[in-house]
Chain A
Amino acid sequence: MALKERGAITGIGETAYSKNSGKSVVALQMQASLEAIADAGLSPTDIDGVIVYGPSGVVAEDFVTNFGIPDLRFSATTPMGGASAVAAVQCAIAVIVSGVCRHVLIPLGRNGASGSRIGARVREMPQFRVVGEFEMPVGAIAPAQLYAPMARRHMELYGTTSRQFGEIAVATRRHAALHGNAIMTAPMTLEDHHASRMIADPLRLFDCSLESDGAAAIVVSAAERARDLARRPVYVMGVAEGHPDSPSVISQRPDLTTLGLAKAAPRAFAMAGVGPGDIDVAEIYDCFTYTVLCEIEDLGFCRKGEGGPFVEGGATALGGRLPVNTHGGLLSQAHMAGLNHVVELVRQLRGAGGATQVPDAEIGLVTGYGDMGDGSVAVMRRG
């Protein structure tokens, strides 16, 4: 509980999201980072810690070089794929509370559409070493193919349907169309979802997230310093990461329908001193629609197996019982490996959500999901 209410998100930045940025990944991350640092009312030389996203290839030293940081005191990476961004928030607060750093920058950016694609990159990553040896040779190559059996098992055990996955896709697209910085904005219906081609059964094209170009960045500062900075702070009430059983190989996991988030969520809620019923808005990692449904269960919004009925009837859309991914998520805004989810939650809790603002949002949460099931979650409140 040492991290409870000790850190705050004090600055956020984002580039425009696109399918062809025309810029280097380093330039994208610098642009988003400069915006986040200015948003906090800080100078780039105030940054004394950087937690980078390993797969992007941009390292902490790039920030020292480009910003002229005189004395970087901490650098790290949180190698959990899509769970990295929220896990980095936990890491940042830990080094702030311990006195190592004052202001930690968390950047994330990629040319995921115009550069090499995720499906090609995963085969080169060490955390996929085991599936690389035993599962990819028999044809389970891409994340969609490796994750689809989790969704299929959920459907067979609990009666979950593709149409319920579609509910998530449709609500998310509706938010993207309103947001102002999202790649996919054309209206989508449940029928459109059903008509989209099958990728890895039961996952259709519209169950899958985007590949995109762009960058996001946040600044994490000590809670007591945050009050003196430029923006209304957003305090991190509770934060945790969790690793599922058989973390690197889904096929060997005792329960295919449970993620690492199921371990992290109770710890984060206990630290925060609130429960799922207190959450006004949720930015939930959505590499696939099914992942959102499973995370809703693992977070405790409903019981295991009840995620399908939970999301029906636009429940995750603005005005629904749990507005989810008010920015359009990875499914429709852009794939920034979930740092765009953190940025959006901060915007919501500042009351700066624009057309997708959840009225009177006071407490929200953001999750990450990565590699083969690592999870992370932060519960935040407006200052």
Chain B
Amino acid sequence: MPTEAAGKPLPEPTRDSKPYWDGLNEGRLLLQQCAACRKIRHYPRPVCDACYSMEVAWIEASGRGCVHSWTVAHHPFHPGFKEELPYIVAIVDLEEGVRMNAQMRGVTPGEMRIGLPVRVAFERTKEGLTLPAFVRAP
């Protein structure tokens, strides 16, 4: 559950997700992989839905993907994001076959399209947290 410290909703990593957040802090995008059947899954969770193994490995993702869909936020639903409006939140198909969402950097709403190649970036927040973002891939 997010907390409201420093104005923005901050993640509270769980025992299942802590390696993901630790990875971001080190500038690496880590994904869970089932240690038994090798299926990659996201967001982090305790059980593989293919073989029900609870043994987890973590792999470093390439960080490359393409846009699956997006929205442009205009209304200030949360005071912590008011200064950033309007901003784009993209859902991205990662090369590893899972999706994640994060804000787009350096792209205008008019340039957004399904399939737009992107790569992950890492942004240090003033709260000392690292969040993922996406930039257009070359």
Contacts and interface: CB of A to CB of B under 8 A. Distances in A.
Contacts of B86: 201
A141 to B, nearest CB: 5
A287 to B, nearest CB: 15
B43 A130 contact: yes
Contact of A201 (B8, B71, B91): B71
Question: Which residue among B10, B71, B102 has the maximum number of chain A CB atoms within 10 Å of its CB?
Answer: B71
B46 interface: no
Contacts of B89: 135, 138-140, 145, 149
Given A153-B114, A156-B114, A136 B9 contact: yes
B62 interface: no
Interface in B62-92: 68-75, 77-78, 81, 84, 86-87, 89, 91
A132 interface: yes
A149 B1 contact: no
A187 interface: no
A133 B77 contact: no
Nearest to A133: B11
B11 A134 contact: yes
Contacts of A249: 43
Nearest to A148: B71
Contacts of A156: 69, 113-114
Contacts of A134: 11, 17, 43, 100-101
B101 A251 contact: yes
A99 interface: no
A140 B103 CA distance: 9
A123 B1 contact: yes
Interface stretch (A29-37, A192-200, A232-240, A308-316): A192-200
A175 interface: no
A97 interface: no
Nearest to B71: A148
A152 interface: yes
Contact of A198 (B43, B72, B114): B72
Interface string A4-44: 00000000000000000000000000000000000000000
Interface string B4-24: 000011111110010000000
Categorize the interface residue count of chain A.
35 or more
Contacts of B17: 133-134
Nearest to B89: A140
Nearest to A125: B1
Nearest to B78: A141
A133 B2 contact: yes
Interface string A175-207: 000000000000000000000011111110000
Given A137-B11, A149-B69, A123 B2 contact: yes
Question: Which residue among A124, A134, A156, A198 has the maximum number of chain B CB atoms within 10 Å of its CB?
Answer: A134
A77 B98 CA distance: 33
Interface string A96-115: 00000000000000000000
A149 B88 CA distance: 11
Given A138-B101, A251-B101, A152 B69 contact: yes
B87 to A, nearest CB: 6
A149 B70 contact: yes
20 contacts: A123-B2, A132-B9, A133-B17, A135-B89, A137-B10, A138-B131, A139-B84, A144-B75, A144-B77, A145-B71, A149-B89, A149-B91, A149-B101, A153-B69, A197-B74, A201-B73, A251-B68, A251-B91, A252-B42, A256-B91
Interface of A: 119, 123-124, 129-130, 132-142, 144-145, 148-150, 152-153, 156-157, 197-203, 249-252, 256
Given A134-B17, A137-B8, A252-B43, 12 more contacts: A124-B1, A134-B101, A136-B2, A137-B9, A139-B103, A141-B9, A144-B75, A144-B77, A200-B74, A203-B71, A249-B43, A252-B98
